[in-house]
Amino acid sequence: MIVRIRALGKDKYGDPVEGSPSRLQLSGCQVAPRTSSDTPGRGRDGVIVGQTLYGPFDLDLISTDVVEVDGIPYSIEGEVGKWENRRSGRQAGIEVALKRGTG
């Protein structure tokens, strides 16, 4: 199960708004292990550093969301990558780097 957790926002002073964040189960998504960029050498494997989320092009995710995969929270690393062919207009989907959330 993959769930998007979004904070309620911030008040005029920049402090988090109190209350429970919104939770939305995401459909049409898959995850795969994401490994380090180290080049594996002879007898060495890359180290898993998170997950990669693949989903539909119109999936509502922003960089401040938390993504929960099977009950484990992950933060979004960087921006949401949209796969779109600018010549044909085909919108293939999105790719999101997830890293293990802390605390």
Looking up tokens 């199960």 gives 1
Structural domain contains residue 59? yes
Residue 14 pLDDT > 50, yes or no?
A: yes
Structural domain contains residue 24? yes
Residue 103 pLDDT > 60, yes or no?
A: no
Cβ atoms within 10 A of the Cβ of 28, count? 11
Which of 25, 32, 86, 31 shows the shortest CA–CA distance to 60? 25
Check which CATH number belongs to the domain holding 79 and give it.
Answer: 2.40.10
Task: State if pTM tops 0.95.
Answer: no
pLDDT tens for 19-29 read 889 999 999 99
The domain of 94 spans 2-36+48-100
Determine how β-strand 30-35 pairs with β-strand 72-76: unpaired
